Structure 1
Amino acid sequence: MSRSRDSRPRVLLVNWRDTGHPEGGGSERYVERMAESLAAYGYRVEIQCAAYPGANPGEWRDGVRYRRRGNKFGVYLHALRAIKAARANLVVDVQNGMPFFAKLVAGCPVLVLVHHVHREQWISALGETVGRLGWWIESRLAPWLFRNCRYVTVSEVTKGELADLGIDRSRVDVVPNGLDAPPPCGAQRSDRPTLVAVSRLVPHKRIEHAIDVVAALAERWPALRLEIVGHGPWDTVLRRHAEARGVADRVTLHGWLDEQGKHEVLARSWLHLCPSVKEGWGIVIMEAASHGVPSVAYRAAGGVAESIVDGRTGLLADDFGDFTTRVEELLTDHARRARMGLAGMSRASGYSWDQSAEMFESLVRDVAGLTAPRPRILTAHRVHELVD
């Protein structure tokens, strides 16, 4: 279909990474699922993101056009050029700590997507000087720049954090992460106490804490094992950490697994550990719940305090000592763990990507000023038939 004849409303999403990026994770998954759903509703959807080795600089996938330009820093300049050149009805500025400043050049409304606030991560990732500058941009400059824009986030917790930055709650909509139904799995719950952590292997996910839990409980739980699913630059660091703590024989780092493999590991585990510094929501917490596996996470880690119903579908901890205590409580109390597992399965069944997609499309339509509802007449895979 030629561009001149394409009358579909156009949405441009500018994001740091896509799911194929070596550092891609849950937030990228959310962006792509929402983009694919908009394509299924009949929008022309484009994602501008960073390039990475082996990636096609441009392609159509599931009805969405991807443009990959620039590295982790240069992507911002390329995104501004794309925003300025776009003939879009709406630009979605995905603010992963650093915004794309879309409001400066966009010729259409801007919707700001924030998964979580990065207060704790700036200095730990970039050092004192640059970190303070980054936090000033996120906490002061961005709220001022987008003072007349609508926001969308994935949890009420993050909505509250945005309110703390001066962003009025009336401008913030919550569209939660969805969830795919788990595939049938051949794995059964292990006879041996098994912990699992599913995560990108990067510093702020603090998977070291999961290894430290095993070390702390090793003497009382001689059969305890930890399975780590995921890949990233922290892989070697974690392997060395397990060796240094004397638990390398109890820790399995699987690396990247496909969806089936990941769910097989979840299905045989007793508990899921999420020791991250901050999460907007924590998709894998709900994936674990769908297998009847409770999670333990830190209370101060943002959206996990919402994806986990403390005391019902998992437990929240205040510090590492408390984290370890909570893990051992659930390892010991089989009946309580089973009750939490059932409650988690029931809660997880109430989340779906289709429901989230409907909410997101309604918000896009409202912010872009598109009055007529758009029926979802195509599946994302069939949208390939319409692209040029």
Structure 2
Amino acid sequence: MSAPRPVAVAYDCLFPYTTGGGERQYRAFSEAMVDRGERVEYLTARQWDEANPPRESFAVRAITPELTLYDASGVRRSAAAARFAAGLFRSLLRRRRAYSAVLVSGLPVLNVFAARLALLGSGTPLAIDYLEVWGRRQWVDYTGRLMGNLAWSLQRLAVAVTPIATCHSQLSANRLRAEGFRGQLLVSPGLIDDRAADSSAHPAPVANPPFVLYAGRHIADKRVEALPAAVAAARADFPDLRLVILGDGPQSAAVDEAIRSVNGAEWTERPGFVSEKTLTELLSTAAVLVNPSRREGYGLVVVEAAAAGTPVVLVADPSNAATELVTPGVNGAIAPDIDPASLGEAIGTVLRGGTDLRDRTRAWYDDAVQTRTIGRTVDGILAAFDRARKKTRGARSASAQEGPL
């Protein structure tokens, strides 16, 4: 008896070789599929030393050499996106009937065309996972007028040819429909990693002195440079409050300048990227995690903080889907904007919530981990693949029965 055909998961990055929400998500998808008895091949760009290839529960297939994904300003490089899409097309075309189904990230958008064209007529179910869906203005702001309009037009075309779409917020679902999607749309219940959930954990005590934590890349959309002034404002009521900014990126110089502008060097730490162990420790003992980002497709950091009992402060923005995960007074606060007074007041609100708010935050997580999980999301994707296969078999059966009696 031949082995069952694998499911392919395609993304140009693989955690932990590269870090970020998408990398964690697609790795977790792959692991959850394996847990459910599926064979999985993860199609990606090479990110490892050939002498030490990945050893995972799923197979990893490098379909391109190593790619430089971002330019100096933190914008994804079109050349890298095109090269990965070409590699994806060649790989899927050669193995168009080798997979039971294919899940492809819709970012970069060229992946959609590569997979759709390679699998055309094969009968292999294809789902496109949309981490985010941008409007025209977002694309123009991100890459400039010419490339922005082109990217937006390509996104609309990609959405139109997507057979099954998955996304992880109501914001993305609404934008997919607004951009013209008319196919089967799966809005996931959530992206909590149920494999890592610990129902016995309790919030750790806040460090003394307390500190505000930021964890992530320093790019324009994250607006990390807003933090020093906001914490300086909060220090008017909490004079021992400190700030820890993790990560690095193109905006780091602006962050350093923002620290200097409020004389924050004595109460701010900038350790850069840290180990997973150190990140966990900081996340557990932070008084509050603040993410002033203007755009998020889901907001995994909200969930990760809540697992530690650490409430979160976010900023309201039309492109910030992470705010869907925060209930003010339950697991954090939402500032109306990044003005130091507004953001500082939201930080102060959380600090005044104290232990009671930390307990409510962990209770929110304990409830969410029952339903808003990677496992539930993968179950929905696999069910959609099964429906697509049955529909294809039904169409072929009907076609075979056509003709004179």
Q: What is the TM-score with the length of structure 1 in the denominator?
A: 0.82
Partner of 1:19: 15
Q: Residues 248 and 272 of structure 2 are in contact (CA less than 8 Å); yes or no, is this contact kept in structure 1? A: yes
One-letter identity of the residue aligned with 1:239: D
Q: Residues 211 and 286 of structure 2 are in contact (CA less than 8 Å); yes or no, is this contact kept in structure 1? A: yes
State the Cα distance separating 1:94 from its structure 2 match.
0.3
CA distance in 2, matches of 1:151, 1:333: 37
1:12-63: per-residue Cα shift (whole Å, max 9, x none)?
12213222344x3011101110111212222221122223475779644122
Are residues 1:94 and 2:111 paired?
no
Identity of aligned residues (%): 20
State the Cα distance separating 1:297 from its structure 2 match.
1.0
Q: Residues 203 and 310 of structure 2 are in contact (CA less than 8 Å); yes or no, is this contact kept in structure 1? A: no
Match for residue 115 of structure 1 among 131, 147, 153: 131
State the Cα distance separating 1:177 from its structure 2 match.
0.5
More contact order relative to length (CA 8 Å, sep ≥ 6): 1
Specify the SS of the correspondent of 1:105: helix
Are residues 1:28 and 2:46 paired?
no
CA distance in 1, matches of 2:3, 2:328: 48
Are residues 1:196 and 2:213 paired?
yes
How many residues in Structure 1 have an aligned counterpart in Structure 2? Answer: 362
Are residues 1:160 and 2:178 paired?
no
Specify the SS of the correspondent of 1:61: coil
Cα pair distance change 1:215/1:350, threshold 3 Å: same
Specify the SS of the correspondent of 2:320: coil
Q: Residues 197 and 273 of structure 1 are in contact (CA less than 8 Å); yes or no, is this contact kept in structure 2? A: yes
One-letter identity of the residue aligned with 2:104: D
Partner of 1:62: 57
Match for residue 185 of structure 2 among 171, 175, 184: 171
One-letter identity of the residue aligned with 2:92: I
Specify the SS of the correspondent of 1:296: strand
5+ residue gaps in structure 1? 372-388
Cα pair distance change 1:66/1:358, threshold 3 Å: farther
Matches within 5 A, 1:1-388: 6-22=2-18, 24-52=19-47, 54=49, 59-67=54-62, 69-70=64-65, 71=67, 72=69, 73=80, 74-86=83-95, 87-100=98-111, 101=113, 102-106=115-119, 107=122, 108-119=124-135, 121-138=138-155, 140-146=156-162, 149-168=163-182, 170-179=184-193, 180-181=196-197, 188-217=205-234, 221-300=238-317, 301-321=319-339, 324-331=341-348, 334-352=351-369, 355-369=373-387
The CA RMSD over aligned residues, in Å, is 3.0
- Greater Cα offset, 9-18 or 27-36: 9-18
- Greater Cα offset, 62-71 or 107-116: 62-71
Q: Residues 36 and 64 of structure 1 are in contact (CA less than 8 Å); yes or no, is this contact kept in structure 2? A: no
One-letter identity of the residue aligned with 1:10: P
CA distance in 2, matches of 1:353, 1:31: 20
1:277-309: per-residue Cα shift (whole Å, max 9, x none)?
211221121221222222111222432121112
Q: What is the TM-score with the length of structure 2 in the denominator?
A: 0.79
CA distance in 2, matches of 1:184, 1:312: 18
State the Cα distance separating 1:233 from its structure 2 match.
4.9
5+ residue gaps in structure 2? 70-79, 391-405
One-letter identity of the residue aligned with 1:305: T
Larger radius of gyration: 2
Q: Residues 334 and 346 of structure 2 are in contact (CA less than 8 Å); yes or no, is this contact kept in structure 1? A: no
One-letter identity of the residue aligned with 1:41: R
Partner of 2:403: none
1:142-171: per-residue Cα shift (whole Å, max 9, x none)?
12222xx11111222321222222224852
